[in-house]
Structure 1
Amino acid sequence: MIPLSGPDLTQREKDLVLEVLDSGILGLGPKMKQFEEAMAAYVGAKYAISCNSGTSGLHMIVHAMGIKDGDEVITTPFSFVASSNCILFERAKPVFVDIDENTYNMDIAQIEAAITPRTKAILPVHVFGQPVNMDEIRALATKHNLRVIEDSCEAIGAKWNGEPVGILGDAGVFAFYPNKQMTTGEGGIIVTNDDEIADLCYSLRNQGRGEDGLWLSHVRLGFNYRMDELSAALGVAQLERIDEILAARTRVADLYLEKFRAVDGVILPEIDPRAQMSWFVFVIRFAEGLNRDRIMQRLSERGIGCRPYFTPIHLQPFYIEQFGYQPGDFPVTERVANGTLAIPFFNRLTEEQIDEVVQAVQEEIARDRAEN
C-alpha cells in the first residue's frame, strides 16, 4: 500500500508535545502564543490568530467583516466545501465564478460580471497550493470597494510575485489538517494586518470574551474556536522545519512532473510563472475519453492511494437543494473535476514508490483504452 498522504513528524514534535503535557497547561497557554508569533513572523503579518481549523478561521473573518444575511461573496466552485460554507454560516450567499482550465484557480476575467450591489467580498482559494493572481483581484476589490478573504488553507509558504500568500488581501487563513504541508493535527490560523479584524477574531474564537480578557466576561456572540496547547506545540515544531518540509514536497513534485511527462493521457498541473508553488497535493488529470473513476478503482485495488480532487461545490447535494444548481452551470469546473485525481504525495515518498505509482497509472490508462 502506498498511502495518499502522511504527516512528517520528528522527535522535535514529540518533545514539544511532552513539554506541554508536563507543564499541565493544555489550553490558552504559552505554546499558542509562541506559535502565533512565529507564524506572524513567517508570513510578515502584524497578527496571527490561531484557531481549531481553517474552516473556523474563514468563518471568523466573514463574521468580523460584518458579512450577513443577503450579502454576497464571490468565490470558486472548485475547492473544499468549507470555502463556501463559511459564507453560509453567516446566511450570506456564495456566488460562484468558473475556473481557469490550466491553473484550476478562479477565472478572474469572470469576477467583475458577477459583482452586484449586494457583493461585499471576494474569496479566492489558492487551489492545491498555487497562488491566484492576487494583483488583479486586489485591483478589482479596490475598484468596487470590496474586501478580500484569502483561503490560503492549502498554500502555506506559497508566494505571488514574491509576496507571501495570506496577507495579500484583508485577511487570510492557513489550515493544518494531517494531509497539509505542515500539521497541528487539527487547526488553523488567521493572518492579517487589520487591527479591527484581529481584535474581533481574538474575541470571537474565545466565546466573545472582551478585550480586557476578564474571566466569564463576554461582550459579543462568539464561538469555541480555540487551538489547544498540544496542537500549538506541533505547530511550533513544524514551522521550525517549514523550509525543509516544503523542499521535500517540491522534490517529490518535481520527480512526478519529470516522470509523467512521458505518459500519454495524463495532463499535468500548469504553474503560473509568477507563482511560487507550495505543493499541497499532486493532482493529475486524465485526457478526454479516459474513465477516471474506473482507473481510480483499479489503482486502489493495486494499493495505490488516490482520490478525486475536487467534487464541484455547486453539485454537492446540499447546494443543489439550497440553490438549484445543475450540471452545466460551471462547465470548466465540471470538466476538470471529472478528470482530476490526487495520487500519493507526502514528504517521505521515495523515488521507487513514485516509479511504482507512475507505472501503475500508465498501465491502467492502457487497460482503460483497450476496454473502450
Structure 2
Amino acid sequence: MRIPLSSPDITELEKDLVMEVLDSGQLGLGPKAKQFEEQLSEYIGSRFAIACNSGTSALHMLIRALGIRDGDEVITTPFSFVASSNCILFERAKPVFIDIDEKTLNMDVTQIENKITERTKAILPVHVFGQPANMDEILKIARKYNLPVLEDACEAIGAKWNGKLAGSFGTAGVFAFYPNKQVTTGEGGIIVTDDEELAAVCYSLRNQGRGNDVQWLSHIRLGFNYRLDEMSAALGTAQMKRIEEILKKRQQVAAMYLEKLRDIPEIILPTIDARAEMSWFVFVIRFIEGIQRNQMMEGLLKRGIGCRPYFTPIHLQPFYVEQFGYQTGDFPVTERVSQSTLALPFYNRLTEQEVDQVIRAIREELQIFR
C-alpha cells in the first residue's frame, strides 16, 4: 500500500461549484473570487481580503505596498519555505534572520530587538507548521519601534494565539491554499487586513496596477497579474464552507500520531505552546542525535511511505549562500533542527490503519540504529 505525503480533501460540493463556474463561461474576474474574499474576511474578522494566485504573490504585494525597497531590512526566520524571504528580495530589500526557538520552531522573539536597525522596516513572523508565533511579544516590540507586522500565516489558517486567530494580529496577514494546505484552491493566496489604504494598493497591484475605479486599461502604478481565477476561487468557497470539518479531521489524525508515537524514544514529537491552538498543516517529527534522518527517509520511501524533510534552512539555500555569504553555524538552532526533521504522511482522510502502517515502518527502520 502506498501512502502519499499529502492529499487534498475534495468532495462533491467542490466539484459542483467548479462546474458551476465552467458552465457560466466567466472564468476570471467574476463573483466567486469576491465570495471567497468575503468568506475569509468574515472568518478572520478583517475589514478587507484580497485574493490572489499564491501566498508568495500575497507576501510580495504587501512588501511592495508598504514601500519596502532597496537596502531596507525585514526581520524574519530562516526556518520556513523560501517564499517568506524571497518576497523581500523581490523588492531588493534584505531579509534579516533570527534563529528559532527549539521547541516551537518559530522565531526566537528574545532575539528580535538585537537585529533592529535604522534600516528595519517590518517584522515578518512565520507561523511554522500551523503553530502561531508569540504574537504578544512580537507586537510589543513592533509598537516600541513603530514597525508593521506582516504575518505569514500561509500554514496556519484556523490556528489561534491566546484565543485569537492567526493572521488577525498584524498590519496584515497572508494565507496560502496550495494542495497540501488545510484549505486548498489548487494554487492561491489571500491578504487580510484592516488597513484601507494598504488594501486599496494591494487590490491594484494584483490587477496590473489598475486604478480602484477599475476603468478598462487604466493603470496608475506598476502592478502584476496576481489574480485568482474563478475555478480556483470556487474550490476555495467550497472548502471554506467545510473549514471546521477540515480542521477537526486534521486534529484527529494528529492526535492519532501523537498517541501512537509517544513511546518511541528516538522521536521528538511536536511541542505546542500552552497559549497556542494548532492548525495542523503537516505532521513533523524529529529524531534524536545519532539517528540519521536521511537514512530513515530513504527506508520509508522504499516502503511506499511518503515523507520529506521540513525545512531546509533558507540561509543555506545555494542562492542565499552566493548572495549573502551565509555559512553553516550562522543559525545553529535552525540548522540542528533542520537536520533532524521529517514530515510524515498527513491529510484529512488518512485512516488509523494507514497511520499504524507508517508507525510500523518507522519502528522497523529504527532497528538499524539500535
Give me the TM-score of the superposition, normalised by structure 2: 0.99
| 2:8 alignment partner in structure 1 | 7
1:79 maps to 2:80: yes
| 2:229 alignment partner in structure 1 | 228
| 2:334 alignment partner in structure 1 | 333
Q: Distance in 2 between matches of 1:215 and 1:275?
A: 46
Partner-residue secondary structure (3-state), 2:136: helix
Structure 1 residue 211, shift from structure 2 partner: 1.1
1:241 maps to 2:242: yes
Partner-residue secondary structure (3-state), 1:147: coil
Structure 1 residue 261, shift from structure 2 partner: 0.4
Unaligned runs of 5+ in 1: none
| 1:43 alignment partner in structure 2 | 44
Q: Return structure 1 stretches of 4+ with deviation > 3 angstroms.
A: none
| 1:358 alignment partner in structure 2 | 359
Q: Distance in 2 between matches of 1:194 and 1:366?
A: 55
1:324 maps to 2:325: yes
Deviation string 1:38-88 (CA, Å, 9 cap, x unpaired) is: 110011010000000000000000001110001000000000000000000
Deviation string 1:92-128 (CA, Å, 9 cap, x unpaired) is: 0000000000000000000000001100100000000
Structure 1 residue 281, shift from structure 2 partner: 0.1
Structure 1 residue 200, shift from structure 2 partner: 0.3
Give me the TM-score of the superposition, normalised by structure 1: 0.99
Structure 1 residue 163, shift from structure 2 partner: 0.7
Which segment is superposed worse, 157-166 or 75-84?
157-166
Q: Which amino acid aligns with 2:226?
A: Y
| 1:96 alignment partner in structure 2 | 97
Q: Distance in 2 between matches of 1:211 and 1:34?
A: 18
Q: Distance in 1 between matches of 2:154 and 2:258?
A: 23
Deviation string 1:103-155 (CA, Å, 9 cap, x unpaired) is: 00000000000001100100000000000010110000000111100000000
Q: How many residues align?
A: 369
Partner-residue secondary structure (3-state), 2:149: strand
Structure 1 residue 363, shift from structure 2 partner: 1.4
| 2:116 alignment partner in structure 1 | 115
Identity in percent: 71
| 2:282 alignment partner in structure 1 | 281
Q: Distance in 1 between matches of 2:10 and 2:131?
A: 24
Unaligned runs of 5+ in 2: none
1:200 maps to 2:224: no
Q: Which amino acid aligns with 1:248?
A: K
Structure 1 residue 259, shift from structure 2 partner: 0.6
1:257 maps to 2:240: no
Q: Which amino acid aligns with 1:344?
A: P
Q: Distance in 2 between matches of 1:68 and 1:179?
A: 32
Alignment RMSD, CA only?
A: 0.5
| 2:217 alignment partner in structure 1 | 216
Q: Distance in 2 between matches of 1:362 and 1:143?
A: 49
Q: Which amino acid aligns with 1:262?
A: D
Q: Distance in 1 between matches of 2:190 and 2:363?
A: 39
